Amino acid sequence: MSPYTRPSIAPQVFIDAAGQVIDYGNRWEGSPPTEAYSVTVHPERYAPLHTVAAALIDHLRLTYDVEIDDGPHVVADLLAPPSWEVPRAVRVRPREPDCAGLTFVFTAFPGLLLHAGLLHDFPFPLCGCDACDTPWQREADELEEHVFAVVSGNYSESVGRRDAEAAAWYQVRYPTGSSGGFSNAVPVPAERLAAAEPILRSLPSGWRAWPRRAGAE
């Protein structure tokens, strides 16, 4: 099996009101203008994330010992219903129970919500407004890094306390560093925390790496 390669994406060109090409990712020197917040003039610039996610799903299916569920029912894996319509949702679940599953939820924004393990959702893009000015390439980099951190066993979750309340924590380790935090944007329902806690306690070193499919190198 060949290593994962990001699919080729045709260059995108977007024009502003003055007729100038918008250089996403390099628009602002200093702070963005106030009117750029909460506005996304060209959300379609994130459409390549759907192509990248589909390629990741195909790679995982061909390389690892997994089950694939493709259908609207897997949207229920998310902690909260998405704000946008969902044209596609795919769960990729390793057959080994000690490995974290991944659910890819394609949104009509267009963007992607990635549910990893039991208690965490990761949006790409995180915001997408013009003030944030993130190009799709940067979002795709982070999506790929996150997926392969989970696949390689470099992802852990735990149930702890924050401000005297139960909270879901996570850590992701990358070749160049790590990131982590807790679910605060979308609170985790108490019943999901309770169900996940004994499972995660049995995985003190985090989720295991995914086993490869028989015959995949």
Amino acid identity, position 68: I
Q: Is the per-residue pLDDT at 54 higher than 90?
A: yes
Rg (alpha carbons) of the chain, rounded to whole number: 18
User: Which tens digits make up the pLDDT trace of 19-30?
Assistant: 999 999 999 988
Residue 30 CB coordination number (10 Å): 5
Q: Using CA atoms, how far apart are residues 167 and 165, in angstroms rounded to an integer? A: 6
Mean pLDDT of 191-215: 94
Task: Indicate the average pLDDT of the chain.
Answer: 93
Amino acid identity, position 153: G
The reported pLDDT for the residue numbered 165 is: 75
pTM value > 0.75? yes
Whether 120 and 157 have beta carbons less than 8 Å apart is answered as yes
The reported pLDDT for the residue numbered 113 is: 98
**Complete edge-to-edge strand list for the sheet that includes strand 177-182:** 155-162, 165-174, 177-182
